[in-house]
Chain A
Amino acid sequence: MEHIVKDHELYRKTVFGFWVYLMTDSILFSVLFVCYILLHTSNFGGPTTHELYSLRLVFAETMVLLTSSFTIGIARLYASRQLVRQTLIWLGITFLLGLSFVVMEGTEFTQLVLEGNSWKRSAFLSSYFTLVGTHGIHVSFGLIWIIFTFVLLAKRGMNEHNFRRLTTLGIFWHFLDLVWIFLFSIVYLMGAK
């Protein structure tokens, strides 16, 4: 078996460039976090953090996202051995987990809006929806990315481009889980205290 990555320079550059993008993305998230921390008590007579969050649902979301971060790592490991079938299976599992995460978050948001607690209700809810929603949008784009990678892998097998694609996708997905740790802790756990 030959080495998958032939153009090492391109591989390194792509991964590094993507890493730099993620670092700037972290700065974006840090700004949204500060906004939330400063505004989370400004509820304008509306519901407070204690009344809103359903911790059990959020805990389930956390578990699902954490597991998906693990499974995409396994997919990447199989890819490095050029085992396409196993890679596709683990990538598929990651997709399903990510999808259930987005569905759970969507349910949570819909419920909040239907109860009249949308982003228009208070500064607290505006910052809450912006912060959690931005993360949710990232995950949704990640899902689209997984579909693309999955189809290309199934069609063309494991080649240099697909391997590079999968590597950056894996880093992206791990990054989303890293951001979620802080969302879970700062927004939900500390909000429920």
Chain B
Amino acid sequence: MSDNIPNSEENEEEWEGDLKSYIIGFVLSLLFTGTAFLSVIKNWVEGSGLIVTLALLQFVTQLIYFLHLGKTPKASWSMVVFWFMLLIVIIVVLGSLWIMLNLNERGMSWMK
């Protein structure tokens, strides 16, 4: 996250570095999106492993190059909140899937 305050004067270099970071992020995202789209249109592979991998790659790319997450060397509170969010999301998603898919099966077999 861009909570490091940008300067308006001295560092031309840093500004260009930020611009470069946006361009790299944009090009990589285009690449990942395009590949995922083509793989579905042209039916390259069975299953959805490739799509999920590309989505996660793009997620990380944008976190780094667009949101500049973890750019500050020291651990920041925003990173703590981010990891906590990820933990909760994983519990909610995997937990719900685990419970719902199992309940469904058991319910059905019990009723038969």
Contact = CB atoms under 8 A, between A and B. Distances in A.
A1 B7 CA distance: 10
A66 B8 contact: no
A119 to B, nearest CB: 21
Given A3-B7, A23-B82, A192-B40, A70 B93 contact: no
Given A38-B100, A77-B22, A193-B48, A3 B8 contact: yes
Q: How large is the interface on A (under 10, 10 to 19, 20 to 34, 35 or more residues)?
A: 35 or more
B85 A34 contact: no
A contact face: mostly helix, strand, loop, or mixed? helix
B54 to A, nearest CB: 7
Nearest to B89: A30
B58 A181 contact: yes
A82 B7 CA distance: 10
A73 B66 contact: yes
A3 to B, nearest CB: 6
B8 A81 contact: yes
A12 B5 CA distance: 9
Nearest to B54: A185
Contact of B8 (A20, A55, A82): A82
Interface in A110-155: none
A101 to B, nearest CB: 14
